[in-house]
Amino acid sequence: MSRIDLQVPGDKKVYFASDFHLGIPDRLSSLEREKVIVKWLDQISLDAAAIFLLGDIFDFWFEYRHVVPRGYTRLLGKISSLTDAGIPVYVFTGNHDMWMFGYLEEECGAKIYRSPVGLDCLGKKLWIGHGDGLGPGDYTYKMLKVIFRNPVAQWIFARFHPNFSFMIANFWSGRSRLSNKAHEEEFLGDREWILQYCREMEEKQHHDYYIFGHRHLSLEMSVSTDSMYFNLGEWIHDKKYAELSTSGLTLLQFSG
């Protein structure tokens, strides 16, 4: 199991957010949300020891060798300024933006992760990731994920002109529930599949906190008597984030 050992001074905090889905439902509302995200990053940078962005930062992201998606300059510039100032930014790929091939690392100084990892800091053990493809069920997506991550499939897709590939991506984004409807995700209780995954993980190795996104519901659920699962929700409707300090982990809402 891959782990990050993060040394954090007692007066500093570690922050987590997920599922910004920049790009939907349209350019102007996405731009306004991006400005709110940058304002949040400005605020937490005052006491942040590290920032973890747990996937689906963009609703679609594919890096060609010499081309990156248009837009998002405010967020990319803010990540660059944070890493330049010595605040590490860890970015996890999600099911919408798994095609990151080096741009955020080379140009913005972020550290990219493609699967869940362990995090040891402030005397706590955490297990964190995006959350897609974890737990039981959803076999269709799990099969598609293998295809999407296949280097040959990625090479073939990269042969398409960016105008064509982004037209397809924007079409499917426009059909998404998150883009078109109010918050209607159904809470499944103990049948929450990421919760079931966390409980399986807890049987193998203890973690104080499990933090994921992907679910589009902000959740705080018990994994065991001394372990909790947090889901960070999404930023189109909620704007939730988690803050880890010497007092523990807290799920908060950014007013913007």
Q: Please, which pLDDT band fits residue 140 given cuts at 50, 70 and 90?
A: low
Which of 26, 23, 62, 22 shows the shortest CA–CA distance to 160?
62
137 pLDDT above the threshold of 70? no
Q: Please, which pLDDT band fits residue 141 given cuts at 50, 70 and 90?
A: low
Q: Percent of the chain having pLDDT more than 90?
A: 59
Q: What is the DSSP string of 148-197?
A: HT-HHHHHHHHTS-HHHHHHHHHHHHHT-HHHHSSS-PPP-GGG-HHHHH
Determine the structural domain holding residue 199 and report its residue range.
3-253
Structure tokens at 128: 């964190």
Q: Percent of the chain having pLDDT more than 70?
A: 84
Q: What is the pLDDT of residue 120?
A: 97
223 pLDDT above the threshold of 90? yes
Contact 16, 242 (CB under 8 A): yes
154-191 pLDDT, tens per residue? 676 666 777 767 776 666 665 555 654 555 578 787 78
Q: What is the pLDDT of residue 224?
A: 95
pTM of the model: 0.88
CATH number for the domain spanning 8: value is 3.60.21.10
Higher-pLDDT residue of 235, 148: 235
Q: How many domains does the chain have?
A: 1
Structure-token match 């689906």, residue found: 56
